[in-house]
Amino acid sequence: MNLDAKIEFPVIEFRSSDLERGTNGWHQLCKKVREACETFGCFEVVYDTILTEVREEMFRLMKDVG
């Protein structure tokens, strides 16, 4: 078993313009998220306007689940 193997998963950028329901950007984002979840079971979100408190709470909750 190779313990040095890298685990890679999709990185999806969330842009404010893509978060408006019904837009082309919204549909493309939904497609990327669905494909990432179906293929990898997870993905990394890149969204520079997420508040630090929200990000920290998300990681705290993820630790509780795991």
Q: Please give the residue that has the higher pLDDT: either 18 or 35.
A: 35
Within a domain: 5 = no
Domain that holds residue 36: 11-65
Q: What DSSP designation does 6 have?
A: P
The answer to whether residue 4 is domain-embedded is no
Instruction: Encode pLDDT of 25-62 as tens digits.
Output: 999 999 999 999 999 999 998 887 777 777 788 788 87
Is residue 30 situated within a structural domain?
yes
Where is pLDDT greater, at 52 or 2?
52
Q: Which residues pair with 1 in a beta bridge?
A: none
Domain count, the chain: 1
Residue with tokens 């193997």: 5
- State residue 18's pLDDT score: 87
- Gap between the Cα atoms of 46 and 12, Å rounded: 6
